[in-house]
Amino acid sequence: MTQAVVLFGSPGSGKGTQANLLRNCLKVPHISTGDMLREHIREGNALGVRVAATMQTGALVRDEVVDQLVERRLAEPDAQAGFILDGYPRTREQAEHLCGWLDSRGIRELVIHLIVDYNIIVTRLTGRRQCPRCGTLYNIVSNPPRVEGVCDLDGQALVIRDDDRESVIRQRLAEYESQSRPLIEFFREHGRRLVEIDASDQTPEALSTQVCRTIVGQASGPVPAQR
């Protein structure tokens, strides 16, 4: 059976960190729409040029663009046994597209909703730094590099992503509240399997253990929302 996990939550809820940790639990690829879009921007190709300005303002990239990126990625050989989706879907149209794609292939996904307090999210994101070469994320408060401002893995100077600047963060959170958060009700209304987990205070490793146990021990039928 294909193991399909959708990590859901606001920007800064820890989806990317958890997806990376969960790869060790599930042995399936982590698929991040944000990472894919940023890679196109770094390459400077036509798609990257089109989406760069949109992402820098905190707005969402058009649904059809993201849908096509995800479909192409899910068709690759390493995703046939399963995958962890991070940052997708973010709108109702994307959710409908994904559910239709999954249903047509007999794949039953599990949605993991990571819940984090708004003020904690702002603190996390304004303190976040990323290696421009390997993509490793750090936080100057909760997960600093061994040497200030330098990646532990390859020695590159860390940067603040354009979409992690405070004005952009607040725009991203506003977009999430207006478009993405209602998807929780969409998943519930359509009988999709959904588990909610409080991700405010646990360490990433402890949270990963809880999430992994939830996924592995899931029931065969719809999973009730829980915290």
With tokens 């205070």, the residue in question is: 201
Q: For residue range 185-208, what is the model confidence (pLDDT) as tens digits?
A: 999 999 999 999 999 888 889 999
With a pLDDT cut of 90, the percent of the chain lying above it is 50
Could you give the CA distance from residue 95 to residue 88 in angstroms, rounded to a whole number? 8
Q: Which two tokens stand for residue 53?
A: 């300005």
Could you give the CA distance from residue 75 to residue 84 in angstroms, rounded to a whole number? 14
Instruction: State the average pLDDT over residues 151-160.
Output: 96
Q: For residue range 64-99, what is the model confidence (pLDDT) as tens digits?
A: 999 999 999 999 999 999 999 998 998 899 999 999
Domains of the chain: 3-117+166-216 (3.40.50.300)
Q: Strand pairing of 128-130 and 137-139?
A: antiparallel
Q: For residue range 116-146, what is the model confidence (pLDDT) as tens digits?
A: 998 888 888 889 999 999 988 899 988 899 9
Burial 45-67 (b: 16+ CB within 10 A, else e): eebbeebbeebeebbbbebebbb
**Beta bridge pairs of residue 109:** 4
pLDDT score recorded for residue 163: 81
Please identify every residue annotated as catalytic: 15, 90, 128, 161, 172
Q: At residue 46, what are phi and psi to the nearest 5 degrees?
A: -60, -40
Determine how many CB atoms are found less than 10 A away from the CB of residue 222: 12
Q: At residue 150, what are phi and psi to the nearest 5 degrees?
A: -130, 135
Q: Which two tokens stand for residue 163?
A: 């979409």
Could you give the CA distance from residue 8 to residue 19 in angstroms, rounded to a whole number? 11
**Does pLDDT of 181 surpass 90?**
no
Q: Which two tokens stand for residue 140?
A: 């100057």
